[in-house]
Structure 1
Amino acid sequence: MTGTAGTADAVSRERLRRWRLVLGGEAADGTGHGLAGRDAAMDSALSSLYGKRDTREARERKERSAGLGASAPAVARWLGDIRTYFPSSVVQVMQRDAIDRLGLSTLLLEPEMLEAVEADVHLVGTLLSLNQAMPETTKETARAVVRKVVEDLEKRLATRTRATIAGALDRSARVSRPRHRDIDWNRTIAANLKHYLPEHRTVVPERLVGYGRASQSVKKEVVLCVDQSGSMAASVVYASVFGAVLASMRSIRTRLVVFDTAVVDLTDQLDDPVDVLFGTQLGGGTDINRALAYCQRQITRPAETVVVLISDLYEGGIRDEMLKRVAAMKASGVRFVTLLALSDEGAPAYDREHAAALAALGAPAFACTPDLFPDVMAAAIERRPLPIPEP
């Protein structure tokens, strides 16, 4: 019985501990449970961000903790603390909350702060939005932070993207008189099942189906047209990475165009996505029609071109002209894809009326994760239905 009672007491104490950490503030006093050591440090880090606590424990900790305050050294220490006590995914959420709730954006202009933060896509977006205000002493550190995130994304996404799209390019170039090594045997057998000879237990392949031979010539052209308004920051980061990956494939000619109320062609910088990102300017208005007009003028082989518009569709330009332009591109043979976002965050707030109008033109708008993007591009290249995720 003693062992059972001891176990029950341990469970009860653990429950009180968890409630104490969850509640914080004055409500925590009702648990009758104090914090010490690692738990007290975790609670201090949380209270610095999510609200000062006037409990006795909080008052005692004030002497040991400087809080976030307004100085970079204090914030750097706090960043070190949360990386010690919380997993990386939680650290990234807390960093974003600190930037939003406590107005810490200006502190990211200091090298000491940048060296302390846990780098992720959202931090890159914040740095890009501060690019114009960033002092020269910070820019080198900021580029190093951005490069680390970009390189991590490329490692995760590049191999599968190249393999998926290369396969789509090969399938889109199937020929009816292939060389032996270029025969697609699965499709050849499927196409000749009616010629099966039971007595010989074999299929007579009267029609061969094969892949086109690999060549150095450009097979497809891809235009990424990316909205660089502030709400699209994560999409801009991923689009730059994917643009660089596509540009590395010799059989695809890739163009990257970013826009707000102005249009900037960053194609010449696609060999380095970090240069691309620092060539963007997050924020400002949106003129989708002007951006699409520029992209339309660059198209020379409509039937071999895929245009990917990445935007939340809040159009500040001329709506009817935008829709007419999309219709004209599709009529000329362009495969048009509309992505409301290219990120792991799901569909953002977006203009539903414009999305419905595009869907009526045969260009449904949907949010796309980075992991799904290669499949979307492969389907667009092969001109088959897009793998639109369930809402």
Structure 2
Amino acid sequence: MTDPQLLRRWRLALGRYAERALPSSGLTGEDQRTDRALDYLYAREMEKRGLRRGKSGGKGGSLDPTSLTPLGWLGELRDLFPQSVYETVQAHAIDNLGMSELLSDPAVLDALEPNRDLLKALIAFKGAANPAAREKIREVTRKVVEEILRQLRPRIEAALAGRPNRFRRSQLKAMKNFAWRETIRDNLKNWDSERSRIVADRLRFHGRSRRRLPWTIILCVDQSGSMLSSTIYAAVMASILTALPSVEVKLVVFDTAIVDLSSEAHDAVEVLMSVQLGGGTNIGAAVEYCEGLAVQPTRTIFVLISDFEEGAPVGRLLSAVRRMASARITMLGLGALSDDAAPVYDRRMAERLAGCGMEIAALTPDRFAEWIGARIA
């Protein structure tokens, strides 16, 4: 290859391990900074594969990753890359390559760009964080959750409201609701003496309110690590649903233990700071617990958000779902609740749950809201 730009791109892509064939001396000053910043992160992955991190060709001092600190490295990324690339590299550092030192220093946390990838990493890491870092994690979590709510709330509320049916006649003005006494009183001023009648230009009707029982929506959320994205959106959805009139939200998270977070359902940040990722999975026990929360079964919606990877004997789970179906509880099993709705789940178990009366799906938050809205309308 003789094209200088092509050589430059290959050198930046391959990093210090191509130093012998593509020396960094051919890079500009800014390209050398870029090379060093990328090496700080991606050389760690190469080291895992058995490649040594020694200095390259006797000239590697400028590329030595130890010359950068996490905070200084983040500053370099901001200077060198556009925002979208910066966020991608940051996500690789935290999520894929395990640079947990980025999350252990409050000053570094201040420098991180709040986004959803960062939120996932923070929720996974928070259990190991020191108190100072944990408070910073809470601050960042709140910023990201507020941004998700800002984007989602209008779509969710519109989906829950549904579209008005222009062809459905209102029953409020039916003759059985006609308030004749009030109509006469309001129109006495319109007495027509020649025809001896009142010309009513304003009709009055009684409002007829129909008493309806409230709905209970139970969100039962698997807090295993593979369900982290869905856990975040479940917490956000719970906070939105709690604002609905005549709806009571129950929020339960589980692994082998069961934690009822219903009292915190209105606050997605508090929920996310409470979840504990990892551990085994006992879906049957969690479903049984939620079964006990259904006071009015026919006015209850039960949503199981899980990969359906049951760690306990499956008989308990299937029996609980059958009982809930017999009680006419509306049930939905979500393999994913996220922007991409791309689930990785136990399909055989999902089929068995469907056979017991549970609808199975993977939905984006707004589609989930439409599903809820169609059932509580």
With the shorter chain as reference, the TM-score category is 0.7 to 0.9
Structure 1 residue runs of 5 or longer lacking an equivalent are 1-8, 69-73, 182-211, 383-391
Report the counterpart of residue 105 of structure 1 in structure 2: 100
Q: Deviations over 1:269-308 (max 9, x none)?
A: 1232111111211221111111111111111222222111
Q: 2:285 aligns with which of 284, 290, 301?
A: 290
Q: 1:20 aligns with which of 2, 6, 11?
A: 11
Say whether the 8 Å CA contact 1:336–1:363 is kept in structure 2: yes
CA 1:108–1:326: 2 relative to 1, 3 Å: same
2:82, 2:372 → 1: CA distance? 34
2:237, 2:143 → 1: CA distance? 16
SS in 2 for 1:365: strand
If the length of structure 1 is used for normalisation, what is the TM-score? 0.74
Say whether the 8 Å CA contact 2:217–2:248 is kept in structure 1: yes
SS in 1 for 2:252: strand
1:359, 1:30 → 2: CA distance? 59
Amino acid at match of 1:289: G
Report the counterpart of residue 254 of structure 1 in structure 2: 249
Q: 1:139 aligns with which of 118, 134, 156?
A: 134
2:105, 2:172 → 1: CA distance? 61
Q: CA deviation at 1:154?
A: 0.5
Report the counterpart of residue 317 of structure 1 in structure 2: 312
Say whether the 8 Å CA contact 2:70–2:101 is kept in structure 1: no
CA 1:312–1:89: 2 relative to 1, 3 Å: farther
Amino acid at match of 1:23: L
Q: Deviations over 1:248-267 (max 9, x none)?
A: 11232211111111111111
1:306, 1:57 → 2: CA distance? 67
Report percent identity of matched pairs: 39
SS in 2 for 1:24: helix
Q: CA deviation at 1:238?
A: 1.2
CA 1:83–1:214: 2 relative to 1, 3 Å: farther
1:342, 1:53 → 2: CA distance? 45
Q: CA deviation at 1:21?
A: 2.3
Structure 2 residue runs of 5 or longer lacking an equivalent are 44-52, 175-206
Report the counterpart of residue 71 of structure 1 in structure 2: none
Report the aligned-residue RMSD. Answer: 3.2
Say whether the 8 Å CA contact 2:94–2:118 is kept in structure 1: no
The answer to whether 1:304 aligns with 2:299 is yes
Q: 1:373 aligns with which of 360, 368, 371?
A: 368
Q: 2:171 aligns with which of 168, 178, 182?
A: 178
Say whether the 8 Å CA contact 2:218–2:249 is kept in structure 1: yes
SS in 2 for 1:118: coil
Q: 1:277 aligns with which of 253, 267, 272?
A: 272
SS in 2 for 1:256: strand
Report the counterpart of residue 329 of structure 1 in structure 2: 324
Report the counterpart of residue 119 of structure 1 in structure 2: 114
Say whether the 8 Å CA contact 2:253–2:261 is kept in structure 1: yes
